[in-house]
Structure 1
Amino acid sequence: MHIFDLLAERRIVDAIGRGELDGLPGAGRPLPPDGEDPLVPAEIRMLNRVLKNAGWAPAQVGLRREIAALRGELAGMPEGARRVVLQRRLAERLLRLSEAGRA
């Protein structure tokens, strides 16, 4: 996570704690279905729907899935050569994800 992400998250949590986000328009209603954001132009929504239906996802999504799977596999794994290999793989995936966020 970047410092700006952390700062934004902190400010959101503080605002929620102070009740500043209570009573916003749409509060309590479900979010629009995937890809149906009214602020996104219709052409882009259609393109997003086609890509999603084709099974395409940004590289970052795949990296996040791999990271979650590696963390799950490492949880409770005893020390040993296999654990070291997985820890290195996890570190490499985290680095790639970090670099992708800067691009």
Structure 2
Amino acid sequence: MDIFLIMAEERIRQSIQNGDFENLPGKGKPLKLDDLSGVPEDLRMGYKILKNAGMVPEEVQLKKDMLKLEDLLACCIDEQERTSLQSKLTEKELRFNQLMEKRKMRSTGAFGMYRERLLRKFR
């Protein structure tokens, strides 16, 4: 066994005996797990780290911005403002589509095939 794993296990056992885990907030309540089923497995840890740091992935922010722009367009009556909003929405949509295409290529292109071969080799 790894020495660090042994040390960590020992520290946890000592903390349990000392009662350090008795008055933790949320004790006895179910964990609130994030639903990351829509995120590719290789990106989940990165998304989790970004979320814990208060950051949002670019595609998520783009989706939020697109929804906001669509709402503004629905109630906009000024034609000049409408044109400006539509231009911004188109830019966001193009960027979003670029990101999605890049992700798709990464999982299905040459990298994806190579990745699949590596995974099969190590299984």
- With normalisation by structure 2, the TM-score equals 0.46
Structure 2, unpaired ranges of 5+: 1-31, 103-123
Equivalent residue for 2:34?
34
| Distance across 2 between alignment mates of 1:50 and 1:99 | 23
Partner of 2:73: 74
Once the two structures are superposed, residues 59-98 of structure 1 have per-residue CA deviations (whole angstroms, 9 ceiling, x without a partner) of: 1011001101100111121141011000011011111111
- Larger fraction in helix: 2
SS at match of 2:75: coil
Q: Percent sequence identity over matched residues?
A: 29
Between 1:47-56 and 1:91-100, the stretch displaced more is: 47-56
Aligned residues: 67
Seen in structure 2, the aligned counterparts of structure 1 residues 99 and 49 have a Cα distance that, compared at 3 Å, is closer
Give the aligned CA root-mean-square deviation in angstroms.
2.7
Q: For the residues of structure 2 that align with 1:84 and 1:75, how far apart are their CA atoms? A: 12
Residues 36 and 68 of structure 1: is their aligned pair in 2 closer, same or farther, counting only changes over 3 Å?
closer
Question: Partners of 2:82 and 2:47 in 1: how far apart?
Answer: 38
TM-score, scaled relative to structure 1 = 0.53
Three-state SS of the structure 1 residue aligned to 2:76 is: coil
Cα 1:66–1:36 change in 2 (3 A) is closer
